[in-house]
Structure 1
Amino acid sequence: MILALCGTSEGRELLGVLAGEYPAILATVTTPYGVECLGDYPTVEVLQTKLQQEEFEKLIEERQIQVVVDISHPYAEKISTLAINVCREKKIHYLRYERRTTEQLQEDPNILWVEDFPEAVQLAKGFVGRIFLTIGSNHLTTFVKEIPKERLLARVLPVSKVLLSCEELGLNPDNIIAMKGPFSEEMNRAMFAMQDVSVVVTKDSGGAGGTLDKLRAAKAVGIPVIVIKRPAVDYGEVYYDLKELMNTLKILKEEKVSMKLDNV
């Protein structure tokens, strides 16, 4: 059985292809919204869970997982690191499928690259005016602790749990844009201009995550973008093309069949 660790929009695409090739697939997500996003496939079982090591190991043993495909978000380094370590321990295959980075734009003077969220906060503090955050909701605390709330504008998913977490941080409707993307360059440009933004803070979520449209929009209105680099994770085998990933899975599947026949 294949275990797919989902957490990006590519998860649905991957499961759609896997469902047509494999009789049993197990997928995990961490939120009810994530479950909805994956769609409904007869051969795919979806679990909503935040896997810890003991639970992860038990899942692999009980469900006889042979391959783990990690398609979690590029910034969900904890689950990726856990999966890598458990797969190594259990001697099963770990394959990473992810979005390409936007580091080809690293020489653009409008883009200010930082290593992590704390560094982004310190750099953003030096700007005068409003700070437009497109970093999701998990790291908003880091900014709220250091920067006056009236200077912050966070664009987050319109999900009750996310909005509640924003309110608990003291953010109010003046600080929140609750919308689901993708956002075009034109829409980003309009938001930046209307809100009198002085700097944008974002993650390098790749093309599917809308990073390029944000960068182009910010450049068009003349404001800089602080981009937080992806965590440095040694994934091993990384695939950026779905066809290449499927070819590897096909080879692994044939190897498993061959091994079984050899043992008859």
Structure 2
Amino acid sequence: MHVLILGGTTEARRLAELLHGTPGLELTSSLAGRVASPRLPPGEVRVGGFGGAAGLAEWLREHAVDALIDATHPFAGTMSFHAAQAAATAHVPLLALRRPGWVPVEGDDWHEAGSLEDAAGLLPGLGRRIFLTTGRMGLAAFADLTDLWFLVRSVDAPESPYPPRMEVLLDRGPFTLDGERELLRRHRVDVVVTKDSGGAATAPKLAAAREAGMPVVVVRRPAAPEGVPIVPDPERAVRWLGECLGLRIFLLPD
């Protein structure tokens, strides 16, 4: 049985770790190639796009894929729709592995935005020194905010266009609460901007902002394909896969 994981996330790597070495299972993880030095999962890995939904469907057929798991980032909306179209075309079962989104708690001062452009429009009324944690893509949405200062954190260096008053911090999570507290203090940040990525690796910035009474602009997740079953963690993805393919896959303790 051949399983293709559309990955690049922590959950995708964890799923590959759980499945690696399963008798009777061939495993391939696909990475988009947007990060220069990604953390590679075990098993076969391919890097790069497929050429849209049609290209992915052809790849599924050519490589005799028996099940497809979309474990891409919650904001990789285009890829998720391509996966749904390709799976339907190639008649391959599809599962979406999506970490739950963040939920505000008492003390949070969240301002929701439907897009990066909407987030940029909110900033002049909220503060002057912005901690921008939306990644290196999409900085053009903030390029016209010449009166604001930005601290941009990303894994790889951003490409222009981007805000003229900007400092770049190249770093990769997971991050700690103490570290995020110190970062906000040292750079005199007064607004945090984030996508609703969910998960624990980058959540400490939300707690640090809450403690400081600081507003947080949260960009909502894009729409996802309808009709695709969703599970919130790799363990349940393994169980779905076992039922789907009729394989005995054992979850071993860490």
How does the TM-score come out when normalised to structure 2? 0.87
**Match of residue 70 from structure 1:** 70
Q: Name the CA distance, whole Å, in 2 between partners of 1:175 and 1:185.
A: 21
Q: Name the CA distance, whole Å, in 1 between partners of 2:198 and 2:34.
A: 24
| Alpha-carbon shift at residue 208 of structure 1 (Å) | 3.2
Give the SS at the match of 1:175: strand
Contact 2:66 2:93 in 1 (8 A): yes
| Alpha-carbon shift at residue 229 of structure 1 (Å) | 1.0
Instruction: Provide the aligned C-alpha RMSD in A.
Output: 2.2
The 5 Å alignment of 1:31-46 reads 31=33, 33=35, 36-39=38-41, 41=42, 44-46=43-45
Deviation sequence 1:179-227 (CA, Å, 0-9, x none)? 122111111111111111121100111123413x111101112211001
Deviation sequence 1:56-106 (CA, Å, 0-9, x none)? 122111101121101000000000010011111222111011211113x16
The 5 Å alignment of 1:1-264 reads 1-21=2-22, 22-31=24-33, 33=35, 36-39=38-41, 41=42, 44-51=43-50, 52-103=52-103, 105=104, 109-144=108-143, 146-148=144-146, 151-157=149-155, 159=156, 162-163=157-158, 165=159, 168-169=160-161, 175-211=167-203, 213-234=204-225, 236-254=228-246
Paired residue type of 1:4: I
- Matched-pair identity in %: 26
Q: Name the CA distance, whole Å, in 2 between partners of 1:106 and 1:139.
A: 28
Q: Name the CA distance, whole Å, in 1 between partners of 2:36 and 2:17.
A: 15
Q: How many residues align?
A: 243
Q: Name the CA distance, whole Å, in 1 between partners of 2:85 and 2:15.
A: 23
Paired residue type of 1:61: R
Cα 1:172–1:142 change in 2 (3 A) is closer
Contact 1:116 1:229 in 2 (8 A): yes
Q: Larger relative contact order (C-alpha < 8 A, sep ≥ 6)? A: 2
**Match of residue 251 from structure 2:** none
| Alpha-carbon shift at residue 241 of structure 1 (Å) | 2.9
Paired residue type of 1:230: R
Cα 1:106–1:50 change in 2 (3 A) is farther
Paired residue type of 2:133: T
Paired residue type of 1:116: S
Q: Name the CA distance, whole Å, in 1 between partners of 2:150 and 2:175.
A: 19
Give the SS at the match of 1:251: helix
* Unmatched runs of 5 consecutive residues or more in structure 2: 248-254
| Alpha-carbon shift at residue 250 of structure 1 (Å) | 0.9
Deviation sequence 1:118-145 (CA, Å, 0-9, x none)? 111101122331111000011111111x
Contact 1:149 1:175 in 2 (8 A): no
* Unmatched runs of 5 consecutive residues or more in structure 1: 256-264
